[in-house]
Chain A
Amino acid sequence: MKATLTLLLQIVRMNWMPIALGSLLNFITVALIALTIFLGKAPNEGLINSVYILILLTQSVLLLGFSSQIKLMIESKYNFLLPGFNRSIIFIILGILFSSTLLPLIMLHAISSIDVAIMFNILLSGIVCCVLSLYSQGLSALTFLFLISWFSVETVHAQTDSNYQPFDNLGFNVNILVGFLIAFLVLLTYMKLYVRQLRLKSEVLKPSTLQLKQKKKQRFYFAPQIMLWISSKLGIENNLKVDIAFLSKSISTNDKIKIILFTFFSIDYLFELQLTYNFFYDFVEGLGAKHQSVQSIFMAALLVIAASFDINYFERMSSAKRFCWLRLPVSGISQFNSTLGKKFFRAITVELIVTTLIIFMAVKMLKLSDDQIIYCMLSFFVIKLYSLLWAVLASHLPVGKIGIAIYILILMIATFFWVIKPIALTIHSIVLFLSLISLFIISTSYAVKVMIFSNTKMYIK
């Protein structure tokens, strides 16, 4: 018990911000239900929807907050030999699942007749993501996104078509699938904790070939990898080395979220082209929010995420400069700077194109009025400018905790005012606003963590 608590304390200490936020959300969820029970009031649809959203948010924030730390702990070879370590980790995982998912669901079920299949599926989404996050946080986040979207769409179908039962189209009892998946996940956890062998990750690359280290985080760099291969075939050695140095840093969570959003809207467009149903709206409505009130909130979320500048670019740039200058003295400083500048410009251009595409698709999908679009774009530029300014400062000044806190605080305040202005303050707007903030804090904290901890790491030989 003492070991479990110490382990939990260390995990929380490592990434306290999202965990504290998740715990707060969890507390609000349980308190909301407890208050309803205490007051003896019959829960209405709005309350149940809000609780669902809160559970999902709590799940996502807590799981994302805990998962990377738990994974780190599991994969640390030092921990494997600690007696009772595996047991402590299992207790912590079960504890997270119980508090984030099971407890609110049981309480909710006690006060209203909720469809058991839906309950099972929310529980399943928690377990799936909890277990998968032991393997890969990215995979877990995507699975979570997929499951939540799927459940939401199923709920909307059931609401609009009285003859339709959720998960009817599966062709078999959903509980069998749930049972099978849970068994599979238990097996995965067992493999991760007991059967898995902690192979030491070799840092050694083939000395004869110049290549990017195939880290999991760097698999997004598929296109640059091909370009590197072509450059190596063409014999453009210096460019190749600069490229490698520049791309060797892992990409930020900010970028990953952009990729997810891009995929999300692309799928939505495909659905819209087929004129079947609108995936994005179904997703939003499935979460319980009203069609109109949610538009601006989601727009704000998208804008803040899209407008946040990737502070890693500057860090990558200075790192590449340090690395390459030591190894490429023959090129001369002006040629070297020009090559590096081109790489930097290219990276920024790609970032801007992706951001613009996301904004364009979001604006088109949300069918905003002209005033709203102007307001959005102005806000976008303001946030982008501030973000860029902070990134420039951060690349020249030591980034302390206070600096990070100020950055997050200013963005939170800016976002808050932005969100409050165009819409009325409803329960859904507050909940969705919290989702925006939590998502933002997670992305920022990871970006900052990557920036701070990758300073001394160079993945190239």
Chain B
Amino acid sequence: MENIIEVKNLQKSFKKNVVISNLSFSVKQGSVLGLLGTNGAGKTTLLQTMLGFESKDEGICTILGSDSPNLSAKVKQKISFVPQEPGLLEWMKVKQIIAYTKSFYCEWDDSLVDQLLKEWSIDSEQVIDKMSVGQKQKLAIILALANKPEILILDEPVASLDPVSRRNFIKKLIELNLDENRSILFSTHITSDLERVAAEVMILKDGANFFQGEIDQLKDKVVRLHVKSKSPLPEHLDFTTVKYERSGNTAQIITMNFNELDVEQLKLSLDADIQVEYLSLEDIFVEVHS
């Protein structure tokens, strides 16, 4: 499959504060990539730099073959972005911003707009400024979905939504991806949402790509080992770990490459009983950042 987003050696800093450091990744057509990272990990900066809201210090960033930040109008027709804060034109009414946004696009799904407005109880006569944060977020999502984008980029889109709307939105994303083969890149803190919709995940840690791959692959690699040894455990282990907590003869190990590890061999070498605990995405995320 063709890469529709390509980021190579991207570097971005604000004065002396390096936010993104030598980051490379790609998004294939029709895939859903979830971006995970703690606050300040550089998720928003990454998305904004890719889209041209921020200038990059170094590196290459292309979306549908068009170089960022100067994305062509043709490419912009195929991209939709929902920022963390909706950034809508607050003085407009809902129907006005819909008409306004529609005028810029060749394709526009009026029926989807009507359907979502109804489902999410948004009054088209309402002035945006008077809407709640969640409602604004919903409106931003409606506007982003209506032009049938090839790439949908979302920066923590569900943070302000209630659980019902969140589920509804996730369902829409899945439909977009499965039925229409749209590509989706989205950052979130809510790992359960990410697991529902994304097959692939990228963990951003200190501005660098800690992991990119399928969620199942990540779960196979990062596991928790409960070790109970008959003799004191060594200070260092001879395989890569995320965490190694030792207390006398017992230890908890978070592995980095469990799929490459021979557990039986490890049991023998440590003279220990080892229990393997497979982690949820949220646990992995916490362990990686702890």
Closest Cβ of chain B: how far from A235's Cβ, in Å?
Answer: 32
Q: B70–A80 contact, CB under 8 A?
A: no
Q: Which residues of B have CB within 8 Å of A83?
A: 73-74, 76-77, 104-105
Contact yes or no, A82 B104, CB < 8 A = yes
Determine which of A78, A194, A197, A200 lies in contact with B89 in the assembled complex, contact meaning CB atoms within 8 Å. A78
State the Cβ distance, B145 to closest chain A Cβ, in Å. 14
Interface residues of B in 83-133 (CB under 8 A from A): 83, 86-89, 91-92, 96, 99-101, 103-105
Q: How near does chain A come to B215, taking the closest CB pair, in angstroms?
A: 29
The complex places the Cα of A272 from the Cα of B156 at a distance, in Å, of 63
Q: Does A426 contact B (CB under 8 A)?
A: no
Flag if B100 contacts A6 (CB, 8 Å). yes
Contact B53 A198 (CB under 8 A): yes
Partner of B81, one of A3, A73, A81: A81
Q: Chain B interface mostly helix, strand, loop or mixed? A: loop
B69: interface (CB < 8 Å): yes
Q: Decide if A179 is an interface residue (CB 8 Å cutoff).
A: no
Closest-CB distance, B267 to chain A (whole angstroms):
51
A199 interface contact, C-beta 8 A: yes
| A126 and B290 alpha carbons, distance in the complex (Å) | 59
A322 beta carbon closer than 8 Å to chain B:
no
Q: For B77, what are the chain A residues with a Cβ–Cβ distance below 8 Å?
A: 83
Cβ-defined contact, A6 with B91, below 8 A: no
Q: How distant is A4 from chain B, measured CB to nearest CB, in Å?
A: 9
> Contacts A81-B79, A81-B81 known; A3 to B103 CB distance under 8 Å?
yes
Measured CB to CB, the residues of B under 8 A from A are: 48, 51-55, 69-71, 73-74, 76-77, 79-81, 83, 86-89, 91-92, 96, 99-101, 103-105, 140
Q: What 7 A-B pairs are tightest by C-beta distance, nearest first?
A: A83-B76, A6-B103, A83-B73, A82-B104, A78-B87, A197-B55, A3-B103
**Extra contacts besides A80-B51, A87-B73, A197-B55 (11): CB < 8 Å:** A76-B87, A81-B76, A81-B79, A82-B101, A82-B104, A84-B104, A197-B52, A197-B53, A197-B54, A197-B69, A200-B48
A sample of 15 cross-chain residue pairs with beta-carbon separation below 8 angstroms, ordered by A number, consists of A2-B103, A3-B104, A10-B92, A72-B89, A76-B87, A77-B83, A77-B87, A80-B51, A80-B52, A81-B51, A83-B73, A83-B104, A85-B104, A197-B53, A200-B48
Please report A residues at the B interface, Cβ cutoff 8 Å.
Answer: 2-3, 5-7, 10, 13-14, 72-73, 76-85, 87-88, 194, 197-200
